Amino acid sequence: MAQSPFTPKKFAQLPPVAGVRLAACEAGIRYSGRKDLMLVLLDPGACAAGVFTQSKTASAAVEWCRGRVPSGSARALVVNSGNANAFTGMKGREAVEATAEAAARIADCAAEEVLIASTGVIGEALDPAKFCHKLQDLAEAASADAWSDGARAIMTTDTYPKLATRQTEIDGVAVVINGLAKGSGMIAPDMATMLAFLFTDAAISPDALQSLCARAVDPTFNAITIDGDTSTSDTVLLFASGAAGARGAPAISAPEDPRLEAFAGALVEVMRDLAHQIVKDGEGASKFVEVVVEGAENAAAARKIAFAIANSPLVKTAVAGEDPNWGRIVMAVGKAGEAADRDKLAIWLGDLAVARDGEADPAYREEAGARYMKNSELVIRVDVGVGNGRAVVWTCDLTHGYISINADYRS
């Protein structure tokens, strides 16, 4: 698989998060010669929040986590790549329980305090006996610095590990937020999905943490699309160790507490950073596209139009071909089904006015559009002329690389 042209030259160096240790190893679940199992251990007092796939065929691990967050006590996280444990019936549920019990024995906690995520092939039984015996070694090796190992162990078709971090403060006390993620192209080739795990030393109650998590996911992980497909396993988990309390950070239990303002902003930044990394490593991606829709009836309508543009195969292939084909953008606005005033519609490529008042801008020249499309990062902006609703989503182009990854690998 070709390395993404957006591969960072330098990966983010993540600092320790007090109360959190991790390790990763090769368990041989499907891949050989690379790490595929991560264990994260949290000191007593940690809690967790989470947001999951909307899929009606969610995986066994998603069902397990959904039943557990927001959780008053979270002591361990086990993630494997190579097998999604999805569509595996009763055996899938048993595999999750066995994994949770094995991790609980090692972390000296209850199985209910263990969270689990799996990513990889669908429909094949995941045998926990094959990797649970590795958990003891992982627990012994766990350190405050193994973030890069963890990010690599959760990769499937990703071409680079995704890491992000921010320092922020709560009531004047410094706290940190670290994040790991993997992409995308959904379950392809059988085994991509979106997973993101965030860790902070802030002391925040489970309910407040859940509220912060859900609000931060909306304009970040929920505003990206590679191919419009939805994995059975998409999972975002946010853990708070509370260890900053020892340095004077207040314990906060109301999501609207004004002392959380900076923290909430930093959380969105970490998630947006990871979300953009996922798009830039989308299968076959050669361009990163920000789609901005303004003038819609409301924010939800704007988002629906933005996703209609971002998911349109015709828009995405035009971007791949560096073709300033704004007729396809008009088409995508039209198919979204939300109110749009055709005769007030305006379109920009970056700062370049392409169309306005429902027809080509008289000053627009296709040469200028074609020049703009050569950029590797693009902004498509549309005003649909009916209200004040606004949304921003991010996507990548649709290239021969996507077809090669998803159609050719068995042929």
**Structure token pair of residue 410:** 């068995």
353 touches a copy of itself by CB under 8 A: no
Exactly one of 314, 368, 379, 392 binds a copy of itself (CB under 8 A); that residue is 314
Omega before 189 within 30 of 0, i.e. cis:
yes
Of the residues 96, 116, 336, 391, which one makes contact with a copy of itself according to CB under 8 A: 336
Q: Find the distance separating the first CA and the last CA of the chain, reported in whole Å.
A: 15
Which is the catalytic residue, given 168, 193, 225, 230? 193
For the residues of 208-245, what is the DSSP string, one character each? HHHHHHHHHHTTTGGGEESSS---S--EEEEEE--GGG
Q: Is 214 in the site for a copy of itself (CB under 8 A)?
A: no
* Angle between helix 313-320 and 299-311 (nearest 10): 60
**Interacting stretch for a copy of itself, rule CB under 8 A, among 133-141, 239-247, 288-296, 315-323?**
315-323
Task: Please give the size of the binding site for a copy of itself, defined by CB under 8 A.
Answer: 75
Site string for a copy of itself, 384-403 (x = CB under 8 A): -------------xxxx-xx
CB of 336 to a copy of itself, least distance (A): 7
Q: Which of 328, 383, 385, 391 binds a copy of itself (CB under 8 A)?
A: 328
Residue 186 interacting with a copy of itself (CB under 8 A): yes
- 75 or 328: CB nearest a copy of itself: 328
Residue placing its CB nearer to a copy of itself in the complex, 99 or 325: 325
Interface with a copy of itself includes 119 (CB under 8 A)? no
Residue 281 makes contact with a copy of itself by CB under 8 A: no
288 binds a copy of itself (CB under 8 A): no
Residues 242-261 that bind a copy of itself (CB under 8 A): none
Task: Say whether 193 is catalytic.
Answer: yes
Establish if 355 lies at the interface with a copy of itself (CB under 8 A): yes
Question: Rounded to the nearest 10 degrees, how much is the dihedral formed by the CA atoms of 14, 20, 25, 29?
Answer: -110
> Which of 5, 13, 43, 91 contacts a copy of itself by CB under 8 A?
91
Sheet holding 76-83, edge to edge: 20-25, 37-42, 76-83, 114-121
In the structure encoding, which two tokens stand for residue 80, read together? 């494997």
Distance CA 289, CA 319 (A): 9
Query: If binding is defined by CB under 8 A, does position 303 make contact with a copy of itself?
Result: no
Nearer to a copy of itself, 14 or 126 (CB): 126
Rounded Cα gap, residues 132 and 27, in angstroms: 9
Given 26, 94, 171, 229, the residue binding a copy of itself (CB under 8 A): 229
User: Which residues have a Cβ under 8 Å from the Cβ of 340 and sit 6 or more positions away?
Assistant: 296, 305, 333, 334, 384, 385, 386
Asked if 357 and 346 touch (Cβ cutoff 8 Å), the reply is yes
Structural contact between residues 185 and 405, judged by C-beta atoms closer than 8 angstroms: yes
On the CB side of 115, CA atoms within 13 Å amount to 32
Is residue 396 within 8 Å of 280, Cβ to Cβ? yes
236 near a copy of itself, rule: CB under 8 A: no
Q: Of 41-49, 86-94, 209-217, 242-250, which part binds a copy of itself (CB under 8 A)? A: 86-94
Q: Which is nearer to a copy of itself, 110 or 370 (CB)?
A: 370
CA dist 408 and 360 (Å) reads 40
Question: Nearer to a copy of itself by C-beta: 83 or 165?
Answer: 83
Task: Report if residue 11 touches a copy of itself, rule: CB under 8 A.
Answer: no
Nearer to a copy of itself, 9 or 410 (CB): 410
Shortest distance (Å) from residue 186 CB to a copy of itself = 6
Taking the C-alpha atoms of residue 190 and residue 193, their distance in angstroms, rounded to an integer, is 9
Closer residue to a copy of itself (CB): 140 or 411: 411
Q: Which of 113, 201, 227, 290 binds a copy of itself (CB under 8 A)?
A: 227
Q: Give me Rg for the CA atoms of the chain.
A: 22
Cβ atoms of 138 and 23 closer than 8 Å: yes
Task: Select from 74-82, 101-109, 201-209, 331-339 the region that touches a copy of itself (CB under 8 A).
Answer: 331-339
Run of H or E residues at 76: strand 76-83
Binder of a copy of itself out of 339, 368, 379, 392 (CB under 8 A)? 339
Interface stretch with a copy of itself, choices 80-88, 96-104, 201-209, 249-257 (CB under 8 A): 80-88
Contacting residues for 344 by C-beta, under 8 A, at least 6 apart: 295, 357, 358, 383, 384, 385, 386
Residue positions annotated with a catalytic role: 193
